[in-house]
Amino acid sequence: MRVFFIGFGQAGGKIVDMFIEQDKKLGANSFRGIAVNTARTDLMGLKNIELRDRILIGQTMVKGHGVGTDNVTGARVTADEIDSIISAIDSRGTHDVDAFVIVAGLGGGTGSGGSPVLARHLKRIYREPVYALGIIPAPEEGRLYSYNAARSLTTLVNEADNTFIFDNSAWKNEGESVKTAFQRLNNEVVRRFGVLFRAGEVGRMGVGEMVVDSSEIINTLRGGGITSVGYAISEVQSKTTKERKGFLGGLKDKFGAKREANEEVLLGEDRSAKIVALVRRAMLGRLTLPCDYSTAERALVLLAGPPDEMDRKGVEKAKSWVEENIAGVEVRGGDYPVNSEYVAAVVMLATVGNAPRIKELLDIAKETKEDVIKSKEKKTSMFEEGIDPLFE
Ligand SMILES: Nc1nc2c(ncn2[C@@H]2O[C@H](COP(=O)(O)OP(=O)(O)OP(=O)(O)O)[C@@H](O)[C@H]2O)c(=O)[nH]1
């Protein structure tokens, strides 16, 4: 799938920068990306997005200093400067793009407010689907972040064709602060969505046994709403293992991630059963948004790994297992070969009906709104009565 990423705000910019880094390393050329921000320093910190593709907006209003977690200003600035954002996207070339993906932290100001505005305009202008990948804040970040995220998400689900969610609080470790976890969390995001969004692209290793075309991803996402993604990997144990480097394993090595406890060694025989087990682990393990998977309306099962580890029967069985476990009956799937020491399974659970974290976020937002109204009513001032100001 050819994806045009727009990283909006600080989190969005950093994550898109990593998608582009991954793409460059693989020599894949599947991803294109720009970063949009109201803060100059955030844009300067990027490494892989070309300078001309880093778009600073809102200069007259916030002078390059960001919108300070005010997403209403983020939305306003974006609406005011939508033409320059669209022309930057156009100048990068869109004729061969399969989808747009806007990436943003929904708890802040710029990305949170700007993403729904951009989604609306992209949808108006282009025929290709527009997705969002929204990072939701951990409750410990404070009520303002949850309130922002709830407002942004409520708007996004009506503007974007589908919204993938990554929940910071589900991914940070016990006792770890969200901020120190960012690099690791971003790596988790890019690993999962990199495998998913690269599906259907013909790599150096040729095409898969059961090719997943970008239209299968698009059809799976057609119902809108929010989507969660599961992921699991298995190390390949074969004589050629040592010679394999690259995509899945390479990324893992690069970020020095420890081998996950539940990884298993895939031994050539009984591949089909092992693929089913891998897909089960992907769906039953930690999802990007923890949710009740049985409420998903559609799903996509994707396997990526060395060609001799792929197995048509295994993919079929895994699809049936997923179908038995979700609400809907539409389950698509397939595989694609990559040069790697790992086999990766991705399960995309589309249009999820029940996710406790989203409910919690919306509840916090409702309470916050009520409290803001109450505190405005209660507000007292020492300078209310008696003396008239010089002018009104
Ligand atoms: N996963 C992840 N989350 C991040 C990262 N940076 C910020 N966040 C989260 O994103 C939210 C804040 O969004 P930012 O992207 O920093 O804000 P912004 O869009 O730049 O908006 P302003 O700074 O207010 O102008 C918070 O909930 C943070 O926890 C990151 O690198 N990775």
The model's pLDDT over 281-323, given as tens digits with 9 standing for 90+, comes to 999 999 999 999 999 999 999 999 998 888 889 999 999 999 9
**Neighbour-count burial for 32-66, b at 16+ CB within 10 Å, e otherwise:** bbbbbbbbbebbeebebbeeebbbbbbeeebeeeb
Give the model's pLDDT for residue 88: 96
Q: The pTM is what?
A: 0.91
Give the model's pLDDT for residue 263: 44
Give the model's pLDDT for residue 309: 87
Residue 257 pLDDT > 70, yes or no? no
CB of 353 shorter than 6 A to ligand 1: no
Q: Is 168 annotated as a binding residue?
A: yes
Mean pLDDT of the chain: 89
**Span 24-64, pLDDT tens digits:** 998 888 999 999 999 999 999 999 999 999 999 999 999 99
**Span 114-173, pLDDT tens digits:** 999 999 999 999 999 999 999 999 998 999 999 999 999 999 999 999 999 999 999 988
CB of 111 shorter than 6 A to ligand 1: yes
Residue 249 pLDDT > 70, yes or no? no
Give the model's pLDDT for residue 205: 62
Q: Is 75 annotated as a binding residue?
A: no
**Is residue 76 packed enough to be buried (19+ CB in 10 Å), middle (13-18) or exposed (0-12)?**
middle
Report residue 356's pLDDT band, with 50, 70 and 90 as the boundaries: very high
Shortest-distance atom of ligand 1 to CA 66: 25
Residue 246 pLDDT > 80, yes or no? no
**Is residue 249 packed enough to be buried (19+ CB in 10 Å), middle (13-18) or exposed (0-12)?**
buried
CB of 66 shorter than 6 A to ligand 1: yes
CB of 180 shorter than 6 A to ligand 1: no
Output the CA 179–ligand 1 centroid distance in Å. 9
Identify the weakest region by mean pLDDT among 69-78, 233-242, 309-318: 233-242
SS (H, E, C) the chain: CCEEEEEEHHHHHHHHHHHHHHHHHHCCCCEEEEEEECEHHHHHCCCCCCHHHEEECCHHHHCCECCCCCHHHHHHHHHHCHHHHHHHHHHHCCCCCCEEEEEEECCCCHHHHHHHHHHHHHHHHCCCCEEEEEEECCHHHCHHHHHHHHHHHHHHHHHCCEEEEEEHHHHCCCCCCHHHHHHHHHHHHHHHHHHHHCCCCCECCECCCCCCCHHHHHHHCCCCCEEEEEEEEEEEECCCHHHCCCHHHHHHHHCCCCCCCCCCEEECCCHHHHHHHHHHHHHHCCCCCCCCHHHCCEEEEEEEECHHHCCHHHHHHHHHHHHHHCCCCEEEEEEEECCCCEEEEEEEEECCCCCHHHHHHHHHHHHHHHHHHHHHHHCCCCCCCCCCCCCC
CB of 168 shorter than 6 A to ligand 1: yes
Give the model's pLDDT for residue 208: 65
Identify the sign of the CA torsion 59, 62, 63, 65: negative
Confidence check on the interface: ipTM exceeds 0.95, yes or no? yes
Output the CA 135–ligand 1 centroid distance in Å. 8
Give the model's pLDDT for residue 378: 74
Report residue 381's pLDDT band, with 50, 70 and 90 as the boundaries: confident
pLDDT, mean of residues 366-385: 78
Residue owning the nearest CA to atom 4 of ligand 1: 11
Residue 239 pLDDT > 80, yes or no? no
Give the model's pLDDT for residue 238: 58
**Span 218-234, pLDDT tens digits:** 999 999 999 999 999 99
Identify the weakest region by mean pLDDT among 44-53, 173-182, 247-256, 318-327: 247-256
More confident residue, 286 or 373: 286
Residue 190 pLDDT > 90, yes or no? yes
Candidates 96, 328, 325; CA nearest to 214 is 96
Give the model's pLDDT for residue 355: 97
Output the CA 96–ligand 1 centroid distance in Å. 30
Complete domains list, the chain, with CATH: 3-197 (3.40.50.1440), 222-350 (3.30.1330.20)
Question: Over pLDDT 90: what percentage of the chain?
Answer: 72
CB of 155 shorter than 6 A to ligand 1: no
More confident residue, 373 or 379: 373
**Span 89-122, pLDDT tens digits:** 999 999 999 999 999 999 999 999 999 999 999 9
CB of 171 shorter than 6 A to ligand 1: no
Choice from 21, 135, 172, 173 to test ligand 1 binding pocket (greatest atom count within 8 A of CB)? 135
